[in-house]
Amino acid sequence: MRRETSARRDGWEEIIESQGLAYHRTAHPEHLTRPYWDEGVHYSFTMDEVLALESQVDELHGMCLEAVDHVIAHGRYRDFAIPEWAAPEVEASWRRRDPHVYGRFDLRYDGTGPAKLLEYNADTPTSLVETALVQWFWLKDVHPGDDQWNSVHERLIDRWKELPLQSGPAHFAWTNMDETGEEVMTLGYLQETAEQAGLTTVAIAMEDIGWDAAGLRFVDMERRVIRTLCKLYPWEWAVADPFGPQAVRGQVSMTWVEPLWKMLLSNKALLAVLWEMYPGHPNLLPAYLDGPRDLTSHIEKPLLGREGASMRIVTPGGVERTAGEYGAEGYVYQGFQALPDFDGWRPVLGAWVVGDEAAGLGIRETSGLITDDSSSFVPHRIVL
């Protein structure tokens, strides 16, 4: 694993915007001089490294599914801040094995040892367009003789074909709260992969979804029953909405992407459960729900935090915090290992899972210790 520099393509901004990364300006803080998409650098890997990472991601995903089974078998919903009234439906969703499509592991990896799980973005993962499309076209333009860990696009199409969906169009819903356009473009890309799989699709805003009280079903603006809904709206938000009970209890009558049981994988309490079940596992960091215990360095993560907000790093050298309003739901205390330093920049590997198989890699870099909305996405290649 090496960090390398290369010349940017002429007109790179127009190129990536034409490929769907229209939000690379709006989703990145304006005061930053470094662009969100930075093809002036990239990471190179050997095939052996990628094959090893792929195997580790497959194992981690299997462990996470075992953790869901464990949480449900032992009724540990309170550890995940899941309301008592919603717990039976989470369990029912898991017992039915409501189908899932995709997720993204965030990993610490320095090229010298096993990857370490930082979190699992299993409900509303982003950076999909840049991973599946933009960096692939960069590779074809700049390093056409090399390869890339990237079968995300093909696997998404195959996954849509596998889903046991009801008749009628599949709806893809964004929220009007998204001011950057990232959510719209990500859902637009997912919608495109579904159409390539042969599905009929409809785009809709979450705010435009209605409730048919007589039919007890969600409907779109044309009063068509919504039987399949793909959303980038976190389940914890949906549960707290006025129509949350209808969404939670209506699971059996429609397909949600992602399903309700994914609440247990997108919650950072998962990290502590994994450590309980697999203590000392080489791909895990110690993690606890009741405090840092004997950890000399740890990071406190809100169970439902996003974009690196509301975190606190405690080391013998001091304390570092990030701003934010998360944490009322509780925290997990995870052993802290600083992200590896490559020329003053620290990468986080975003390893994608489609269905139940590892599918590809996206990398974000930050100059600090926590990856947040100021990080940049950089491409990668496998040197052949």
Q: What string of pLDDT tens digits covers the 384 residues of the chain?
A: 999 999 999 999 999 999 999 888 766 666 778 899 999 999 999 999 999 999 999 999 999 999 999 999 999 999 999 999 999 999 999 999 999 999 999 999 999 989 999 999 999 999 999 999 999 999 999 999 999 999 999 999 999 999 999 889 999 999 988 878 889 999 999 999 999 999 999 999 999 999 999 999 999 999 999 999 999 999 999 999 999 999 998 888 899 999 999 999 999 999 999 999 999 999 999 999 999 999 999 999 999 998 889 999 999 999 999 989 999 999 999 999 999 999 999 999 999 999 999 999 999 999 888 887 779 999 999 999
Question: Which amino acid appears at position 156 of this protein?
Answer: L
Integer Cα distance of 200 and 222 in angstroms? 15
Only one residue has tokens 């779109």, namely: 220
Integer Cα distance of 22 and 58 in angstroms? 32
Give this prediction's pTM: 0.96
DSSP 310-358: T-EEEETTEEEE---S--TT-EEEEE--PPPPBTTBEEEEEEEEETTEE
Question: Which amino acid appears at position 286 of this protein?
Answer: P
Quick check: helix, strand or coil at residue 331?
A: strand
Q: Nearest-5° angle of CA 67, CA 69, CA 73?
A: 115
